[in-house]
Amino acid sequence: MRLIKKILLVTFILNIGVFTNVKATPASFADLAEKLMPSVVNISTTQTVKTTSNQFPFQFPPGSPFEEMFKDFQRPTERKASSLGSGFIIKENGTVITNNHVIAGADDILVKVNSKEYKAKVIGADPYMDIAVLKMETKEKFSPVKFGDSDKARVGDWVVAIGNPFGLGGTVTSGIVSARNRDIGMTRYDDFIQTDASINQGNSGGPLFNLQGEVVGINTAIIAPGRSGSIGIGFAIPANAASKVIDQLINFGETRRGWLGVRIQEVTKEIAEAVDLKSPEGALVASVGEKSPADKAGVLAGDIILEFDGKKIDSMRTLPKVVANTKVGKKVQIKIWRNKKLISKNLKLGRLESSEEFKEKKTKTKKIEEVEIKNLKITVRNLNQEDIAEKKLKINKGVVITEISNKSPLKGLLKINDIIIEAKGTPITKPSDLIETVNRMLKKGDKNLLLSIIDNDNRRRYLGVKLN
C-alpha cells in the first residue's frame, strides 16, 4: 500500500512539473485589443468603371454587318465601384500598410481611424507580394504598431486579428498559428502563416498580432469553398518578408528584386534518381530566358540549382525567395548539378521589375521522321513548321507524341501532342535519338529515365519515370 502511495505521489509531482512548463491560456484579450485598436484602420476605396450601354432592346451577333453600324449609337457610361479593407499604422506621420488588392485601381482612398476619415495617397505598391504603403494626408500624429519577428511565431502560438470584416470596423478575433510556410499558389513568393483566427472579406490588409502586440503577419487570404465567410483557414504574409518590401516601397516608391531569368520546377524522387542526385532537392531549370543573367552565365535547361549565393536551395520554392531578396547587381556564385557532377557558375544578378518578357533561347530547325518507340510504347512524329507556327513554339527540335499505349510507363504522365525534346540529357532531334538513348540506358541496367518536354501549354518541364 505504501509503495502505491509513493508511486501516486511521484506521478502527481511529475504532472505538476509538466504543467508548470505550459504557457497559460490568456484569460482575456481585452487589454491587448484596447491597446492596439487605435492603430488599426478601415480602408474604403472608390473606382470609376467605364462601360457602354446599348440604346436598343436587342443585340447583334458577333460578325454581323449591323454590329459596326450601330456601334455609334452605344453610349459610354460610368459608374462608381467601391471596396473595403483593413490596414494598420506603422509611423506617427500616418503611414499605413495594407494589401495591394485593397487599393489597386482606386481613384480615391479613405482611411478611417476611430471615427475620423482621412484622404490617403499610395506611396508604393507591390503586386508580387500584395503589399501597399499609404500615407494619410494630414499633419496629425497617430499611434503606430511595431513589427515582430515572424520567424519566432510557432505553430500553436496565440494570435489576434483586428480588422474591418464586411465593413464592421474594429472587429477582434483570436486563434492560433495553424501552420507555417504555406504555398497556396497566390503569388510566386507564397510563404504564408496559416491561422484559424476568423478572417473574412474586409480583413484584407489588417494585422495579425502576437500576444506582445507585435505585427507578425498581414492578413491576406482565406479558403472558404462555397462560402463568403471564414471556416477557420486564413493566411497572412509573414512580417519579416513584408518588412523588406515595405522598406523599399517607402524609400524608393517601388521594389527592387533580384532576377535570375529561369523557369523552374520541382525535383521529384524519380528525377533525382534519373540524374544520380542523392535526394530530391534544389530547383530544376525547365528553361532559360534569352539574354538573362542565367543565360549569360551559361546556365542550361536541365541544370539543378543546389546553392545560390552561399544559401542552400532545399526545394524549388526556396529559389525565387532567395533570388528576390538578393541585391540587384550583386555578383553571386551558384552551384549546379549537371551531368551527374557539381559545377559552379558566376553571374551578375538582374532586376525583376525591369526585366524583359521571358523569351526562351531558340535552336536551329532539324528535320525528323515519324516512328514507333517500342520500349516506351508510344508513337511520335516529326515536329514541323506548322506546329511551330500554330503553337507559337520557342523550340524547333523534338518529337511530337501522337499515341500513348495503355501499357506505356508514360501513360498518365504525358499527353498527346506533348513534345519530347531531351532524354537523359541527350537532345532529341529525331526518333532514333530517343530509341538509342533508351536502349543504351536499359543495356546498362539503368531504368531511371529523365525526359524534358514541351507540354500542351507551351511550357518546358521535366519528367522522371522508372521503366519496367
Q: For the domain that residue 46 is a member of, what is the CATH number?
A: 2.40.10.120
Choose the final residue of a domain: 136, 166, 187.
136
Question: Beta strands 311-312 and 304-308: pairing type?
Answer: antiparallel
d(CA 78, CA 48): 6
Residues 346 and 404 in one domain: no
Looking at the domain assignment, is residue 125 inside a domain?
yes
CATH of the domain at 436: 2.30.42.10
C-alpha cell at 44: 474604403
Say what the pLDDT of residue 395 is: 82
Residues 118 and 185 in one domain: no
Cα 153 from chain centroid (whole Å): 21
Looking at the domain assignment, is residue 292 inside a domain?
yes
Looking at the domain assignment, is residue 29 inside a domain?
no
Residues 282 and 246 in one domain: no
Residues 38 and 105 in one domain: yes
d(CA 218, CA 237): 5
Backbone φ, ψ for residue 239 (5° rounding): -60, -40
Looking at the domain assignment, is residue 364 inside a domain?
no
d(CA 65, CA 84): 44
pLDDT tens, position by position, 30-84: 999 999 999 999 999 988 766 655 555 555 455 555 555 555 556 666 666 777 8
pLDDT tens, position by position, 315-355: 998 999 899 989 999 999 999 999 889 999 999 999 988 77
CATH of the domain at 185: 2.40.10.10
Say what the pLDDT of residue 359 is: 56
Residues 264 and 324 in one domain: yes
Active site residues: 101, 130, 204
Three-class SS state of 449: strand
Choose the final residue of a domain: 351, 379, 401.
351
Residues 411 and 447 in one domain: yes
Three-class SS state of 404: strand
**Paired residues of 261 in beta bridges:** none
Query: How far is the CA of 415 from the CAs of 17, 145, 380, in angstroms?
Result: 60, 53, 12
Residues 335 and 247 in one domain: no
Query: How far is the CA of 23 from the CAs of 20, 156, 158, in angstroms?
Result: 8, 11, 10
Residue type, 115: S
d(CA 258, CA 329): 8
Q: Whose CA is closest to 237, among 125, 98, 42?
A: 98
Confidence of residue 387 (pLDDT cuts 50, 70, 90): confident
Residues 130 and 191 in one domain: no
**Paired residues of 359 in beta bridges:** none
Three-class SS state of 388: helix
Cβ atoms within 10 Å, residue 311: 16
Residue 19 has pLDDT above 50, yes or no: no
Tell me the H-state helices in 253-402: 269-274, 293-297, 318-324, 385-391
d(CA 368, CA 381): 8
Residues 244 and 264 in one domain: no
DSSP E strands, 90-130: 95-98, 108-113, 116-126
C-alpha cell at 30: 481585452
Q: Whose CA is closest to 286, among 268, 269, 273?
A: 268
Say what the pLDDT of residue 52 is: 57
Looking at the domain assignment, is residue 116 inside a domain?
yes
Region 439-461 average pLDDT: 89
Looking at the domain assignment, is residue 389 inside a domain?
yes
Confidence of residue 135 (pLDDT cuts 50, 70, 90): very high
Confidence of residue 105 (pLDDT cuts 50, 70, 90): confident
Looking at the domain assignment, is residue 307 inside a domain?
yes
Looking at the domain assignment, is residue 4 inside a domain?
no
Domain that holds residue 163: 150-252
* Residues with Cβ within 8 Å of residue 31, at least 6 apart in sequence: none
Residues 248 and 266 in one domain: no
pTM greater than the 0.85 cutoff = no
Residues 222 and 305 in one domain: no
Residue 16 has pLDDT above 60, yes or no: no
**Paired residues of 118 in beta bridges:** 111
Confidence of residue 87 (pLDDT cuts 50, 70, 90): very high
Region 293-303 average pLDDT: 92
d(CA 282, CA 266): 8
Residue 2 has pLDDT above 90, yes or no: no
Give how many domains the chain has, as a whole number.
4
Choose the final residue of a domain: 351, 380, 400.
351
Question: Beta strands 131-136 and 116-126: pairing type?
Answer: antiparallel
* Secondary element (H or E) of residue 8: helix 2-20
Residue type, 76: P
Residues 346 and 300 in one domain: yes
Region 434-463 average pLDDT: 89
Percent residues over pLDDT 70 in the chain: 83
Residue 431 has pLDDT above 70, yes or no: yes
Cα 280 from chain centroid (whole Å): 20
* Residues with Cβ within 8 Å of residue 230, at least 6 apart in sequence: 198, 199, 200, 222, 224
